[in-house]
Chains A and B, each alone.
Chain A
Amino acid sequence: MKKSHCWKKLACLLGMAVFVLSQSLPVSAKSIPYDSYNYDYREYIRYTPAAYLPAGNVDIADYVFQGSPVGKLLSPQDLCADGKGRVYVADTGNNRIVVMDEALTRIEDVIDGFINQGKEDGFNQPGGVCISEKGQIYVADSQNRRVVVLEKDHTLTRIIADPQSESLEDGFVFTPLRIAVDYADRLYVIAQNMFEGIMVFEENGKFSTFFGTIDVEISLWDKFWKRVATKEERSKQKLYIPTEFTGLDTDPKGFVYATNLDANGIQGVRRLNPSGVDVIKKGQNLNLGGDLQTAGTTEYAGPSQFTDVTYRENGIYSCLDRKRGRIFTYDHEGNLLYVFGGLGTQDGTFRLPTAIEEVNGKILVLDGTLCEILTFEVTEYGRLINEATALRYDGDEASAVGIWERVLELDENNELAHVGIGKAYLTAGDYKQAMKHLKIGMAREYYSVAYRRYRNEMLRKGASAFLSCMVILVIALLVARRFRKKKRRR
């Protein structure tokens, strides 16, 4: 009795001590309005340090341009940056394009009209904007059913409207929503109700082809029911329409990154080569659809809906999910690097995110309801991952080890870091360490390489001892047998 009482007292004291200590510890991190996490090999959610932190919202209402305030954005739909880091925002509701400097502190230009054949002309609900390498401004003037190409000084270069082709249906209304332009001034357009894919326009503004068409998957079961159903029934069934593209970006090599809504949550982003074939690499879990744990029946459940993508550098690209307001960043091998962002009413969260862009290492997200640009700054954790991924992209895994080790200090369950370290040990010849890290990283292939070499090493080392043991054993057996025979003869 007495003993147990003593224990109770001790436990009580210890509990008090822990409580007091935890109260006195200062809260070091700023409170972050969203969870940062990643998925491990088993698709469990694994919380990580934040990769990016909110660095303030930019509201241009008070900004002044040419002596007068520019006013607040109105349901802006798209933003992009040119080579110098200037940010172009498609201010859809105000029918204008707003240009800001890279720090988003100053308005550099407001484009609300241009001279078209001697007459003043303007935009009507411009939904997308992008800048070519030459510095020309492409505007998807959606309700005027055209794409307008302007020089920097607002002079009209070209108007792309009314595409003509046999593959287009009669009565097709061209409503461009999002656009991207590559290094050869080829224009890629996502048009409303255009399920055949992305429309490609040549440099001269002529419609050339559809691009990246998403195939519809019909299961055998559906086919069977289609066959069984009568015509009347069939007319009432849902149509099998491929999903639409939602956002796009080009990388310096001319590949097009495009997001689409995937009802299965498996692939929400594609990387299309110049002939329109998807060449994106998928990671170990073959998933590029954002969240993996999406079960539930609430409005907040269901697969992620990527609405825009931005190619960053070194094969890294970030996708913006409008369902839960999260930003998913993948590397060139399709591994999920980090997730951050969220919907809500706190500072640093979104209402209706519409577009994403990276400028000078900062991630900018345009919110169509808040009518503000949210900025995110990289943390130590995010920076380390970006750097290590860049080194791996260049094939320089050995020098990435130090960085991965520091990542492990911040997040000891990071599987990518373990794989990176394991691979480096593998090339350095320390197979035992390599096996340990590769096993934690669940990299079967590389683990097997390491293990095979380790096994050979052990065999080589142990061979002489093993063989001499065998020889001794055989001799001993022979001697014993002879001894027995002699005994028997006697």
Chain B
Amino acid sequence: MRKLFKKDDWFYLLYTLTHPMDGYYWIRHAEKGNVPIAILSVILFSFCFTANRLLASFVVNDLDPRGIDSLYELLGVLAFYLLLCVSNWSVTCLMNGEGRLKDIAVAIGYGTVPISLSLLIATIYSQFVADDEQAFYGILLGLGVAYGAIMMLIGIMQIHNYTLGKTLLTLFLTVIALFIIIFLILLLSNRLALVFNFFRSLYIEIIFRT
């Protein structure tokens, strides 16, 4: 455990948060990134996300708590994270990206940290808010999401050694790749279900005939 989550790597996460350009550069070129920490921060992001939806004061939150399931959302966030990493990797592989899957995972994982923080702070702040004072709550969330998005953008840019324009292009292609992957998964599961049903009906037929 201690090997996986080294103390220096935690400090390096903080350094990356404050100096994204530099931080991500050395993540690619000096093996400063830490994948377990990145995955952990994605999991924490999922918890913060659920906490915000579940616990934010009812003045700012119109969601039905009965419709929120933290485990389900964790699975969703992890699946989306995996998809995003894989699709970005598959696109950048073809477009001369220098980053490895490991670096992409770190870039996106570290990028969720400011979003988690803003979600947490906004959730606590929302407890002390009255109607028509929600503006600051919105600004807090907006700032966090913007910072996170910029972090991820810079991360992708630095680890692949891209220009900004190329990064945006690859991100666009990443989204398309994401849809293609989802489509393929759906197709596969559908076909597999058909095959399974075929064998199942065979089995039922045999059972009924004997």
Contact = CB atoms under 8 A, between A and B. Distances in A.
B26 interface: no
Contacts of A448: 59, 130-132
Contacts of B66: 42
B68 to A, nearest CB: 13
Contacts of B58: 439, 442, 444, 447
A226 interface: no
B130 A451 contact: yes
Nearest to A43: B64
**What size tier do the contact residues of chain B reach?**
under 10
Contacts of B131: 444-445, 447-449
Given A439-B58, A444-B131, A449-B130, 19 more contacts: A42-B64, A42-B66, A442-B58, A444-B58, A444-B59, A445-B131, A447-B58, A447-B59, A447-B131, A448-B59, A448-B130, A448-B131, A448-B132, A449-B131, A451-B59, A451-B130, A452-B130, A455-B128, A455-B130
Which of A439, A444, A449 has the most B CB atoms < 10 Å from its CB?
Answer: A444
**6 tightest Cβ-Cβ pairs between the two chains A and B:** A448-B131, A448-B130, A452-B130, A451-B130, A42-B64, A444-B131
Nearest to A438: B58
Interface in B50-76: 58-59, 64, 66
A442 B130 CA distance: 13
Interface of A: 42, 439, 442, 444-445, 447-449, 451-452, 455
Interface of B: 58-59, 64, 66, 128, 130-132
Which of A442, A449, A451, A452 has the most B CB atoms < 10 Å from its CB?
Answer: A451
Nearest to B131: A448
7 contacts: A439-B58, A447-B59, A447-B131, A448-B59, A448-B130, A451-B130, A455-B130
Nearest to A447: B59
A220 to B, nearest CB: 27
Contacts of A447: 58-59, 131
Contacts of A442: 58
A455 B57 CA distance: 15
A451 to B, nearest CB: 5
Nearest to B130: A448
Contacts of B64: 42
Contacts of A445: 131
Contacts of B59: 444, 447-448, 451
A386 B66 CA distance: 32
A442 B131 CA distance: 13
A122 to B, nearest CB: 59
A447 B66 CA distance: 22
Contacts of A449: 130-131
A62 to B, nearest CB: 54
A473 B22 CA distance: 39
A444 B66 CA distance: 19
B131 to A, nearest CB: 3
A415 to B, nearest CB: 13
A445 B58 CA distance: 11
Nearest to A442: B58
B133 to A, nearest CB: 8
A16 B167 CA distance: 70
Contacts of B128: 455
A113 to B, nearest CB: 61
A439 B131 CA distance: 13
A452 B66 CA distance: 28
Nearest to A451: B130
A444 B128 CA distance: 14
Nearest to A452: B130
Contacts of B132: 448
